Chain A
Amino acid sequence: MSKTTLTGAQILWDCLVREGVNVVFGYPGGAILPAYDAMLDYPIRHILVRHEQGATHMADGYARATGKVGVAIATSGPGATNMVTGIATAMMDSSPIVCITGQVGSALIGSDAFQETDITGITLPITKHNFLVTRADEVAPAIREAFAVAASGRPGPVLVDITKDAQLGLCAFDWEGAAPDMIGLARPGHSSGVDAVGLINAAERPLILAGHGIMLGEAEAALRALAEKAQIPIAMTLLGIGGFPASHPLNLGMMGMHGEAWVNTAIQESDLLIALGMRFDDRVTGNLKTYAPNARKIHVDIDPAELNKNVRVDAAVSGDLRAVLNQWLPVVTEVDRTRWLAHISDLKGDSAVRDIQNLPDDGHLYAAHVINDIWRMTNGNAVVVTDVGQHQMWEAQYYHHNTPRSLITSGGLGTMGFALPAAIGAKVGRPDAEVWVVVGDGGFQMTMPELATLVQEELDVKIAIINNGYLGMVRQWQEFFYQRRYAATPITGPDFKKLGEAFGIWSATVTTRKEVADVVTRARSERGALIDFRVEQEDTVYPMVPAGADLHKMIRRPSPIAETATD
């Protein structure tokens, strides 16, 4: 077949279009100019960000909301280095994005040229793979392989750095000839240790720990079938939320540092943990020496490097989660586990008395109430994008997600400033979804210039700022572990209502609980909205497992009943 002669820049866009890309998030500059010039001739929507970090978070939010690969593009030097935080965020949370950066001309590489930086060197440990492309004929193979690597196996970020001369150079475009060699991308699964199904069938107090892999592996239905057949309750990691309906009676809620008390207690009491697509993060396990001491452990993950990394397991299975669960399903037996489930219900009842939802209204505005009200008013159907900190934990506790990909949050890296740009990406990817940002006043101020992006692109995103005038989670640690010495945690901000209005966004300030419903209703009817919720300043996320402590030794919300009992 005949091959057309194109420039490297044209080949770049041709390949992106063939990979199914119709939107990219980026910022132009000198070394990427040839690519931007060629872009105008291709059916690509370009979202102009206000900072390249925003472009990577948007691509990430887009990927997490849709399951497709997100694309960010920037120039060399500072454009590329600004992407680093977003790339590391995507790496830690296994989010498939492709970042394209311009690079100085190949003859100038190594000469400390203007806006030259070794971005492939810088991003080496925070990408699944990266490429330096110095010739036009290398563009197509690199782009095709980048998409294959980003999306296959355990997904993650890939960076393609393209020199200016490679963008300008002419060569024959050969799409078929540039097909990636998939050897090494699809390694067969294997299992080691004892038979997993035997352990499941013999267990009396089993517990499934469901992680992000449920959604990445599209194993939601298989998980549900397994849990229902074998009557096994499910605890969720932060990133697993949405992989199994919160309303399902077998869903216990979130585990870990700010997990529900009954979940952590159940983990410690269980005799079998079945970990599915999660990685035993330290925020989930607490002290490893005392973690689930009586439980045998099964771990299924697509990444063999996760098996026996943090927790030693009895059965380690690497492979596609859905395939593994479907293999188990016919041989897992129906077992009566009423006693175990009833016991967990009892644990739950004990926690209810400490739940802020069940405490009398004292006239203060609590973040937990705000988030719970947003949940009720959106019927639990919104895509919620959170930032990092106290509000993130309250959201996980008080917004109940029933559908996959409806909570988008930076879990592994814990990147403040993630929420607003990631929500823009999510809205671009799913224009029909109601997208809410839940963000603290600290994190919001890190990336708030992206409000301009929101307005320029006419996107309908609702922003709930949980404003307590502190870097709340750090303040909470100072309160518990540093004798309330609030070093650098009090933070001021602009009048967020005026700020929103300056950008042309409908905005409001809320100081009492009785206003919440009306304002949220109004916000839902506006195209885009920003609400400054002035919440209780020194509120605390309960329960809390101090870093490195035993999982069952939680700091609990002081309860009037419990305190009289111990007095």
Chain B
Amino acid sequence: MQTFAVYVDNKPGVLNRVASLFRRRAFNIESLTVGHTEIAGLSRMTIVVNTDERGGRLVEANLYKLIPVRRVDNITRVPTIGRDLAMIKIAATGDARTQVMQLVDVYRSRIVDVSPESLVIETTGTEDKIDSLLEVLRPYGVIEMVRTGRVEMARGSIAQPPISAPRRSAAAADDGRDDVGNCSV
């Protein structure tokens, strides 16, 4: 697995360009998340790709060929914090409900919605932790689950060249199509 932090101009069609590149070059995306960054007009993707180190170098070189890509950091080998967020809806009534609530405590998760027949649990953590919580909850009956996919950041203050403000938008047509603002694949 190779993990990249990719900074892209927040313009229509950028997610499509990145996704198309992976399809075209037959690289397998394990997870891809996108969100705004601290710099206006700049989005950050965390992309996990199922490939080896040599494949990782080709991914990086190919990403740089996309005009809206401003910087690619391969963070596979640097110490990072990786997090995934999940919401899990459980069918739990009566005694089961108490047991689920105890498990949620053990996993330092939260119950964010309660209805007569179900609970919604919100949990944040590594993918392993979420997988493990899911396993223990499964016997109670998982009705529905949604996960964000991994976001990842290098630890400490690793010196990186600064990213300049996004180029003046050439054809940032505000046509309401696939703005890359906040989405994941």
Are A187 and B64 closer than 8 Å at their CB atoms? yes
| Chain B neighbourhood of A176, CB < 8 A | none
Q: Report the bound CA distance from A149 to B171 in whole Å.
A: 14
Kindly supply a per-residue 1/0 record for chain A positions 290-316, scoring 1 wherever the CB is within 8 Å of any chain B CB and 0 otherwise.
000000000000011101110010000
Closest to A161 in B: B171
Is A397 located at the chain interface by the 8 A CB criterion?
A: no
| Chain A neighbourhood of B145, CB < 8 A | none
8 Å CB interface, A133-184 against B: 133-135, 138, 141-142, 145, 149, 180-181, 183-184
Kindly supply a per-residue 1/0 record for chain B positions 10-31, scoring 1 wherever the CB is within 8 Å of any chain A CB and 0 otherwise.
0011001100110010000000
Q: Given known contacts A132-B175, A133-B173, A183-B70, is B65 in contact with A303 (CB within 8 Å)? A: yes
Is A557 located at the chain interface by the 8 A CB criterion?
A: no
8 Å CB interface, B132-185 against A: 164, 167-173, 175, 177
Q: Could you count the A-B residue pairs with CB atoms below 8 Å apart for me: how many are there?
A: 72
Q: Report the bound CA distance from A305 to B164 in whole Å.
A: 24
Q: Given known contacts A125-B24, A303-B65, is B171 in contact with A308 (CB within 8 Å)? A: no
Are A307 and B61 closer than 8 Å at their CB atoms? yes
B81 to chain A, nearest CB (A): 28
| Chain B neighbourhood of A181, CB < 8 A | 167-168
Q: Given known contacts A304-B64, A308-B54, is B168 in contact with A141 (CB within 8 Å)? A: yes
Q: Report the bound CA distance from A309 to B62 in whole Å.
A: 11
Are A131 and B24 closer than 8 Å at their CB atoms? no
Closest to B62 in A: A305
Is B57 located at the chain interface by the 8 A CB criterion?
A: yes
Is A124 located at the chain interface by the 8 A CB criterion?
A: yes
| Chain A neighbourhood of B66, CB < 8 A | 129
Interface extent on A, as a size class?
20 to 34
Q: Report the bound CA distance from A184 to B63 in whole Å.
A: 11
Is B96 located at the chain interface by the 8 A CB criterion?
A: no
Is B6 located at the chain interface by the 8 A CB criterion?
A: no
Is B1 located at the chain interface by the 8 A CB criterion?
A: no
Is A106 located at the chain interface by the 8 A CB criterion?
A: yes
Are B175 and A106 closer than 8 Å at their CB atoms? yes
Is B58 located at the chain interface by the 8 A CB criterion?
A: yes
Are A132 and B61 closer than 8 Å at their CB atoms? no
We find that the number of chain B residues with CB closer than 8 angstroms to chain A is 28
A319 to chain B, nearest CB (A): 13
Are A183 and B173 closer than 8 Å at their CB atoms? no
Are B20 and A183 closer than 8 Å at their CB atoms? no
Closest to B64 in A: A187
Which of A142, A303, A304, A307 makes the CB contact (< 8 A) with B171?
A142
Closest to A158 in B: B67
Closest to B171 in A: A131
Q: Report the bound CA distance from A431 to B171 in whole Å.
A: 36
Are A304 and B61 closer than 8 Å at their CB atoms? yes
B71 to chain A, nearest CB (A): 9
| Chain A neighbourhood of B49, CB < 8 A | none
| Chain B neighbourhood of A180, CB < 8 A | 167, 170
Which of B169, B173, B177 has the most chain A CB atoms inside 10 A of its CB? B173
Q: Report the bound CA distance from A303 to B65 in whole Å.
A: 8
| Chain B neighbourhood of A110, CB < 8 A | 177
| Chain A neighbourhood of B17, CB < 8 A | 124
Q: Given known contacts A125-B20, A305-B61, A307-B61, is B69 in contact with A133 (CB within 8 Å)? A: no
Closest to A306 in B: B61
Kindly supply a per-residue 1/0 record for chain A positions 106-142, scoring 1 wherever the CB is within 8 Å of any chain B CB and 0 otherwise.
1001100000000011001100110111110010011
Are A131 and B62 closer than 8 Å at their CB atoms? no
Are B170 and A131 closer than 8 Å at their CB atoms? yes
8 Å CB interface, B55-106 against A: 57-58, 61-62, 64-67, 69-70
Are A141 and B16 closer than 8 Å at their CB atoms? no
| Chain A neighbourhood of B170, CB < 8 A | 131, 138, 141-142, 145, 180
Closest to A145 in B: B170
B85 to chain A, nearest CB (A): 31
Q: Given known contacts A133-B173, A135-B173, A138-B173, is B20 in contact with A184 (CB within 8 Å)? A: no
- Contact residues of B with A, CB < 8 Å? 12-13, 16-17, 20-21, 24, 54, 57-58, 61-62, 64-67, 69-70, 164, 167-173, 175, 177
11 A-B pairs with C-beta separation under 8 A: A128-B67, A132-B175, A138-B170, A141-B168, A141-B170, A141-B171, A181-B167, A181-B168, A183-B167, A305-B64, A305-B65
- Contact residues of A with B, CB < 8 Å? 106, 109-110, 120-121, 124-125, 128-129, 131-135, 138, 141-142, 145, 149, 180-181, 183-185, 187, 303-305, 307-309, 312
